[in-house]
């Protein structure tokens, strides 16, 4: 991701869109990797405290890396450098983007980005050394205002983001137990270590109560079991009519299309992908069988290659998995000297039949429509977003501490589930183009809101240890509109006849009201908190149009 961000900083006008797309890909892959790590920590670590610490540090690193990308967009002069630009695929480079001036500060920024990339690439076991320590100390120094270079505010903010990203790398190395040479620490590095240690000391290990699970036919696994049983019965009958020897191909396909799916649309997309991969695999099998002929060892080597490719491509594309399986099957028949074109054609027929039986069962037996499924998950995302926002603002306002890390993780998981459920709507072959663009836009806006909510949660957890951040009770009043709007949108998602309206009005900073005489305008609340609140407010309000929620202008 850092490599892509460096390319973005240096890209010319003709290359800016392509460089931004690479940053988007890096952002998405980083987030997916963070979710994978978090999902496996419970089984991968013997100590629950270590698992929670690593989970926190991974989340910190992700937020810091994303903030660095936003800062670089702003440093390039983009008029709207928000997270929507980092999450909406295909969106052009924000207007106003231009190459930064070749001044000393921007040259230093390029050098420091390369240094940060070096720190990230170094394995934990090789993190020692005077040179690397000096680089780390210099980058951590940008967390102090007096160490920032003389440059524009946007470029200075990029240097701050470099310092925060370096702190995240340091925290991750400490969490992973890497060697720590503290003899060369500067005051800035020592302060960062103290902050990390203080955060570790206040980890809250209390687990939330498990939500009540549905029972009976409302339970997803029970419903899926009934659907698979009906679909399998249809596949057995139809498969037997096609072939008495290979009817199980249809049943196997019917089973597979139900794995990791929860709606009729998802099953339809998975069935289409399996059928497409099978057809392409049959064509490849025919070509390879003719080319290999009686060369047994060549065919055997190709089978091994396809087996490797099948498992290697499993996380990337189910169509590729089906392709390699079917192509390997054609070569196996060649090895066994039982190759017949009719058998491969029969595989296409049985696969199409199994996929059709699965879709029919999903559509007629206890169906879960894609719209209903996505609305349920959208309501869950909004609920989690509201929980994280309220808890973070309450803690930033001086309220009791909450387990913000677990809440942020629940939000990420809910968003990942929604992203998977919208695949039938965003698939390239869908005929409903308007719905596809709406779904992509809504998911991108929610990713923007989730990022700022996570950033608020991360800032709130710094309150006990960070001297530059302190609670401000006025934040409760300022964030009240955001909470109301999230509730209003959730109400319309769950009930189309709901009468709630979202409110718009003055900026979040203006809602703080007057400060005490002689006190700073914003008290001791940093500009970063206000910026995240403002972006979150804009993102939530932006959901109103695509979701059809009426808007009411605020009086205040």
pLDDT in tens, 243-292: 998 999 999 999 998 887 877 877 888 888 899 999 999 999 889 988 88
Mean per-residue pLDDT over the chain, rounded:
79
pLDDT value of residue 205: 37
Sort residue 29 into left (φ over 0), alpha (ψ -120 to 50) or beta. alpha
Q: Round to whole Å and give the CA distance between 49 and 203.
A: 9
Q: What is the DSSP letter of 148?
A: S
Please give the torsion angle defined by the CA atoms of residues 240, 246, 251 and 257, in that order, rounded to the nearest 10 degrees: -130
pLDDT top residue among 515 and 374? 374
pLDDT value of residue 206: 35
Q: Tokens representing 478?
A: 């300022």
Nearest residue to 66 via CA among 96, 111, 16, 28: 28
pLDDT value of residue 356: 93
Q: Round to whole Å and give the CA distance between 553 and 287.
A: 65
Q: Which residues make Cβ contacts (< 8 Å) with residue 528, sequence separation at least 6?
A: 455, 459
> Among 94-98, 143-147, 266-270, 315-319, whose mean pLDDT is lowest?
94-98
For 446-490, the pLDDT digits (tens) are 888 888 898 888 888 777 666 556 677 778 887 888 999 999 999
Pair 107, 10: CB distance under 8 Å:
no
Q: Residue 92: pLDDT band by 50, 70, 90 thresholds?
A: low
pLDDT value of residue 182: 67
Q: Average pLDDT in the 333-342 region?
A: 84
Does the domain spanning 370-553 belong to CATH 1.10.3470?
Answer: no
CA-CA-CA-CA torsion sign (372, 378, 381, 383): negative
Q: Which residues make Cβ contacts (< 8 Å) with residue 197, sequence separation at least 6?
A: none
Q: How far is CA 240 from the centre of its chain?
A: 44
Q: Round to whole Å and give the CA distance between 152 and 157.
A: 9
Q: Tokens representing 208?
A: 């939330």
pLDDT top residue among 524 and 51? 51
Task: Please provide the size of the chain in residues.
Answer: 556
SS3 502: strand
The DSSP annotation for 198-242 comes to: HHHHT---PPPPPPPPP-GGGSHHHHHHHHHHHHHHHHHHHHHHH
* Beta bridge pairs of residue 553: 504
Angle in degrees, CA 162, 410, 30, rounded to 5:
35
Q: Average pLDDT in the 30-42 region?
A: 77
* Beta bridge pairs of residue 502: 551
Pair 239, 248: CB distance under 8 Å:
yes
Q: What is the DSSP letter of 307?
A: H
Between helices 48-75 and 433-460, what is the axis angle to 10°? Answer: 110
Q: Round to whole Å and give the CA distance between 70 and 236.
A: 55
Query: Which helix (H) or strand (E) covers residue 29, if one does?
Result: helix 16-44
Domain boundaries, the chain: 2-201, 216-364, 370-553
pLDDT value of residue 280: 95
Q: Tokens representing 487?
A: 């509730």
* Beta bridge pairs of residue 88: none
pLDDT for residue 13 is more than 80: no
SS3 83: coil
pLDDT value of residue 9: 83
pLDDT for residue 112 is more than 80: yes
Q: Residue 209: pLDDT band by 50, 70, 90 thresholds?
A: very low
Query: Which helix (H) or strand (E) covers residue 503, if one does?
Result: strand 502-504
Query: Which helix (H) or strand (E) covers residue 167, if one does?
Result: helix 153-175
Distances (CA, A) of 292 to 282, 300, 332, 340, 553: 15, 10, 11, 14, 72
Q: What is the DSSP letter of 147?
A: G
Intra-chain end-to-end CA distance of the chain, in Å: 42
Q: Round to whole Å and give the CA distance between 545 and 482.
A: 16
């Amino acid at each position: 991701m850092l490599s892509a961000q460096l390319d973005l900083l240096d890209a010319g006008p003709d290359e800016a869109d392509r460089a931004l797309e690479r940053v988007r890909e890096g952002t998405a892959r980083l987030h997916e990797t963070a979710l994978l790590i978090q999902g496996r920590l419970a089984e991968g670590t013997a100590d629950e405290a270590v698992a929670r610490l690593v989970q926190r540090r991974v989340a910190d690193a992700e937020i810091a890396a994303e903030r660095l990308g936003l800062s670089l967009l702003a440093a390039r002069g983009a008029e709207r450098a928000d997270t929507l630009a980092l999450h909406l695929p295909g969106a052009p480079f924000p207007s106003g983007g231009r190459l930064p001036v070749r001044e000393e500060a921007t040259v230093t920024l390029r050098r420091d980005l390369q240094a940060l990339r070096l720190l990230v690439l170094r394995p934990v076991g090789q993190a020692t050394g005077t040179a690397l320590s000096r680089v780390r100390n210099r980058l951590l120094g940008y967390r102090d205002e007096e160490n920032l270079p003389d440059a524009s505010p946007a470029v200075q903010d990029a240097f701050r983001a470099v310092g925060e990203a370096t702190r995240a790398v340091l925290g991750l190395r400490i969490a992973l137990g890497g060697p720590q040479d503290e003899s060369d620490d500067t005051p800035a590095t020592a302060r960062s270590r103290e902050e990390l240690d203080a955060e570790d000391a206040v980890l809250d290990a209390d687990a939330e109560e498990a939500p009540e699970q549905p029972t009976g036919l409302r339970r997803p696994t029970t419903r899926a079991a009934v659907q698979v049983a009906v679909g399998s019965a249809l596949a057995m009958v139809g498969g037997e009519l096609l072939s008495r020897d290979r009817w199980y191909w249809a049943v196997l396909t019917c089973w597979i299309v139900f794995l990791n799916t929860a709606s009729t649309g998802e099953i339809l997309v998975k069935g289409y992908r399996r059928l497409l991969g099978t057809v392409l695999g049959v064509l490849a099998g025919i070509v390879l069988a003719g080319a290999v002929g009686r060369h047994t060892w060549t065919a055997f080597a190709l089978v091994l290659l396809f087996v490797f490719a099948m498992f290697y491509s499993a996380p990337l594309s189910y169509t590729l998995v089906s392709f390699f399986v079917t192509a390997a099957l054609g070569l196996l028949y060649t090895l066994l000297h039982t190759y017949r074109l009719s058998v491969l054609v029969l595989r296409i027929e049985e696969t199409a039949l199994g996929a059709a039986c699965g879709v029919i069962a999903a559509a007629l037996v206890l169906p879960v429509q894609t719209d209903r499924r996505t609305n349920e998950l959208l309501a869950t995302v909004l609920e989690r977003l509201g929980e994280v926002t309220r808890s973070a603002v309450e803690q930033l306002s001086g309220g009791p501490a909450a387990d913000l890390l677990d809440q942020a993780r629940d939000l990420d998981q809910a968003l990942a589930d929604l992203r998977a459920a919208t695949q039938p709507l965003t698939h390239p072959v869908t005929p409903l183009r308007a719905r596809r663009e709406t779904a992509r836009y809504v998911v991108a806006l929610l990713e923007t809101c989730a990022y700022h909510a996570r950033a608020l949660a991360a800032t709130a957890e710094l309150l006990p240890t960070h001297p530059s951040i302190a609670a401000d009770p006025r934040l409760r009043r300022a964030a009240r509109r955001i909470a109301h709007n999230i509730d209003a949108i959730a109400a319309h998602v769950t009930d189309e006849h709901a009468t709630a309206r979202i409110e718009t009005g003055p900026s979040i900073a203006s809602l703080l009201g007057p400060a005490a005489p002689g006190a700073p305008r914003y008290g001791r609340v940093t500009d970063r908190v206000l910026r995240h609140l403002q972006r979150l407010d804009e993102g939530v309000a932006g959901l109103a149009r695509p979701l059809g929620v009426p808007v009411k202008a605020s009086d205040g």
